[in-house]
Amino acid sequence: MEKNIIIVDEKDRVIGVRPRDLVDKEGLRYRVSALWLTDSKGRILLAKRALTKSHSPGKWSSAVAGTVEEGESYEENIKKEIMEELGITLKKFKKGPKLKIDGEHKFFTQWFVGVVDRNIKDFRIQKEEVAEIRWFLRDELEKLLISRSEEFIGGLMEFLKLFS
The CATH number of residue 71's host domain is 3.90.79.10
Burial profile 90-122: b = 16 or more Cβ within 10 angstroms, e = fewer: beebeebeebeeeeebbbbbbbbbbebeeeeee
User: In the chain, how many H helices and how many E strands?
Assistant: 4, 9
Angstrom CA distances, 18 to 14, 22, 32, 51, stand at: 12, 7, 14, 24
Strand pairing of 60-62 and 106-115?
unpaired
- What are the pLDDT digits (tens) for 95-143? 999 999 998 889 999 999 999 999 999 999 999 999 999 999 999 999 9
For 41, residues 6+ apart whose C-beta sits below 8 A from its C-beta are none
**Domain encompassing residue 128:** 4-162
Amino acid, single-letter form, for residue 67: T
Q: What is the mean pLDDT of the chain?
A: 94
Instruction: Mark residue 71 as left, alpha or beta (left: phi above 0; alpha: psi -120 to 50; beta: remaining).
Output: left
Entry pTM: 0.92
Q: Does 154 have pLDDT greater than 90?
A: no
Please state the domain count of the chain.
Answer: 1
